[in-house]
Amino acid sequence: MRPFFTGLLALFLWLGGHSLQFSTALLVLFTALSFYFMLEESRRIFSPLVCVSLFLLLFLYYRGLAGSTLTENLGLAFGALGAGLLIQASRTKKLAWASAGIFMVSMALNTRPGPFFVLPFLVFWAAFYLRTDANRFWKAFFLTAGAGLLPFVFNSIMMRILSDTITIPFANFAYAIYGLVSDGNRYVQIFIDHPEVAQIQGNAHYLEIFRLTWSTFLSKPQNLFIGMFKNYCLFFSNSWYSMYGYVLSDHMLLTTIVRYALYVLSLLGVICGLRRTDKPVNKLVLAGFLGVLLSVPFVPPGDAHKVRLYAAALPLMILLPALGLQWCLDWTQWSWLYQPKDGKLPDRSSFRYSLFLVGLTLISPLIIALLSDAKAYQSSVCPQGQEAVIMRYDQGAFLRILREEEFFLDRMPDFHYGQYALSVHGLATQPEIAFFETIEPPAVISLGIDLNTGGELWFAANPDSMPAEDGVYGFCGRYEDKPYTFFYADQLVELSSVK
């Protein structure tokens, strides 16, 4: 469904010799560079203090994603570059930069689907406030709208190239819309009310959910408005599902104070956007926020904590409290505190980096297809009562859990059992916690793919029985399904390649 991030991650894995650590480090690097370019553009309009605040909000949001393989990584990077280019467009009043910025925001939303209503609001902002005269409104409109539609075309083409089945684009929206019309419940509500839907495969699965959604709406249309109200209440609450749910510390009082301060600054940002019409950036921030606001019912905050589903628009969202803070600073007489600074980079720097990252993303699947050398393998027969698994072993993609008495620093991929057990309790649900608590040291664990079947599995083994070099190996062991497919390996077996 989301080929942009998948292709880029595959390229990073290939470049790093299948090391997940190397790949996630590259993701963090590219995202950090995107933040840098956004902040470089921001400092030309906002004061240094406001730019520091922007950086802190970006950091607080990204700290929960850094090191993961979620599409939010690339969506956030594209979104930050888009926000930076739009800020540049508001300063220079050039449609070219606005088109580039809207294109990057659209790339972000195609990478990590979220508040899509942001796009039309940005298009109308550019058409109204960046045109040179009344006759150029439609020219500006079609130019920016075309830039926003282009990533959808790229996404569709890439899906057709990479996928063996044609899936309805953004089809999993069906889960969210059913939850909305069924009294504002979470996306899993469809499987609670209609468990038989899980047995339907392909596009028919999503079409059936849409049919059930329409039927549910007709039976109780008032539940749609109840669901919308619940989502808005959650979005503006003091919880980790709220607009500032990612602003979190160990002290709840401090967390609450900072969150409400951000809400106050956001309100001031709205007032500033409405009153001060002389600056295009004020209307840009307001347009982005209105797009997010209208999207809230259809991107339920409760479906993922810390507004993870809003990663593509997060850089635009944090501009609202930034605008409010800048307005407050403008009332002071300390020019060193509120006046913007000149940027250190040429105007085209953000555009060039954006072009590079988009180009790398689009050609990644083609590079992998040309350079990969897929092989089939077969293993020796395992002892009675055991089963064979063939999987790739890469030390950069395994976690080693060792006993407490061993002396070393807890650092990826090596952890003492105590640190591992503590981290396990940070997982989302009790079944997950209970499951991973059964792992005893010493052990190596990883998520892998059985090359015999193509199925996903969790893998665990004693470190002493693991090979010294990376590669594809056969293992004999036993399966357990509680609640995930877990394979406990006992020994290595001979493996031969079959073309």
Please write the tens of the pLDDT for every residue from 473-482: 888 888 876 6
Answer yes or no: is 139 within a domain.
Answer: yes
With the C-alpha atoms ordered 461, 466, 472, 473, is the resulting torsion angle positive or negative? negative
Q: Kindly tell me if the per-residue pLDDT of 62 is higher than 80.
A: yes
Do residues 91 and 240 both lie within one domain? yes
Among candidate residues 348, 366, 384, the one where a domain is terminated: 366
pLDDT bucket at 135, cuts 50 / 70 / 90: low
Q: Which residues pair with 445 in a beta bridge?
A: 399, 460
Residues near 459 by Cβ (< 8 Å), separated by ≥ 6?
389, 391, 444, 445, 446, 447, 448, 475, 486, 487, 489
Enter the pTM of the model: 0.88
Angle of helix 173-181 relative to helix 203-219, nearest 10 degrees, comes to 20
Do residues 327 and 417 both lie within one domain? no
Does residue 162 sit in helix, strand or coil? helix
Q: Which residues pair with 460 in a beta bridge?
A: 445, 488
Residues 58, 319: contact at Cβ < 8 Å?
no
Residues near 129 by Cβ (< 8 Å), separated by ≥ 6?
90, 280, 283, 284
User: Given the DSSP bridges, would you call strands 399-402 and 443-449 parallel, antiparallel or unpaired?
Assistant: antiparallel
Report how far residue 242's alpha carbon sits from residue 218's, in angstroms, rounded to the nearest whole number: 30
Does residue 460 sit in helix, strand or coil? strand
Do residues 342 and 381 both lie within one domain? no
Residues 28, 66: contact at Cβ < 8 Å?
yes
Residues 350, 48: contact at Cβ < 8 Å?
no
Do residues 195 and 159 both lie within one domain? yes
Do residues 348 and 398 both lie within one domain? no
Average confidence (pLDDT) over 331-341: 70
User: Given the DSSP bridges, would you call strands 485-493 and 495-498 parallel, antiparallel or unpaired?
Assistant: unpaired
Q: What is the largest CA-CA distance in the chain?
A: 82
Answer yes or no: is 433 within a domain.
Answer: yes
pLDDT per position as a tens digit, 275-314: 877 788 999 999 999 999 999 999 999 888 899 999 999 9
- What's the pLDDT at 336? 61
Do residues 317 and 436 both lie within one domain? no
Answer yes or no: is 371 within a domain.
Answer: no
pLDDT per position as a tens digit, 136-162: 888 889 999 999 999 999 998 888 877
Cα→Cα distances 49→243, 308, 337, Å: 22, 26, 7
- What's the pLDDT at 499? 47
Q: Residues of 97-115 as b/e, b for ≥16 C-beta within 10 angstroms?
A: bbbbbbbbbbbbbbbbbbb
Do residues 353 and 450 both lie within one domain? no
Phi-psi region of 134 (alpha: psi -120 to 50; beta: other; left: phi over 0): alpha
Q: Which residue has the higher pLDDT, 372 or 62?
A: 62
Among candidate residues 336, 366, 396, the one where a domain is terminated: 366
> 368: number of CA atoms within 13 Å, CB side?
22
- What's the pLDDT at 374? 66
pLDDT per position as a tens digit, 203-262: 888 889 999 999 999 998 999 999 999 999 999 999 989 999 999 988 899 999 999 999
Do residues 358 and 396 both lie within one domain? no
- What's the pLDDT at 293? 95
Report DSSP state, residue 380: P
Average confidence (pLDDT) over 30-49: 93
Do residues 146 and 126 both lie within one domain? yes
- What's the pLDDT at 496? 58
Report how far residue 362's alpha carbon sits from residue 11's, in angstroms, rounded to the nearest whole number: 11
Q: Kindly tell me if the per-residue pLDDT of 498 is higher than 60.
A: no
With the C-alpha atoms ordered 194, 195, 200, 205, is the resulting torsion angle positive or negative? positive
Calculate what percentage of the chain has a pLDDT beyond 90: 44
Q: What is the chain's mean pLDDT, rounded? A: 87
The DSSP annotation for 385-415 comes to T-EEEEEEE-GGG-EEEE-TTS----BTTEE
Report how far residue 403's alpha carbon sits from residue 241's, in angstroms, rounded to the nearest whole number: 37
What is the identity of the amino acid at 261?
A
Q: Kindly tell me if the per-residue pLDDT of 172 is higher than 60.
A: yes
Do residues 287 and 310 both lie within one domain? yes
Number of domains in the chain: 2
Among candidate residues 339, 366, 393, the one where a domain is terminated: 366
Do residues 393 and 329 both lie within one domain? no
Answer yes or no: is 245 within a domain.
Answer: yes
- What's the pLDDT at 283? 93
Report how far residue 328's alpha carbon sits from residue 105's, in angstroms, rounded to the nearest whole number: 28
Pick from 453, 486, 479: nearest CA to 377: 453
Provide the token pair at 122.
């940005």
pLDDT bucket at 98, cuts 50 / 70 / 90: very high
Do residues 214 and 241 both lie within one domain? yes
Average confidence (pLDDT) over 304-331: 92
Query: Residue 482 sits in which domain range?
Result: 376-498
Report DSSP state, residue 369: H
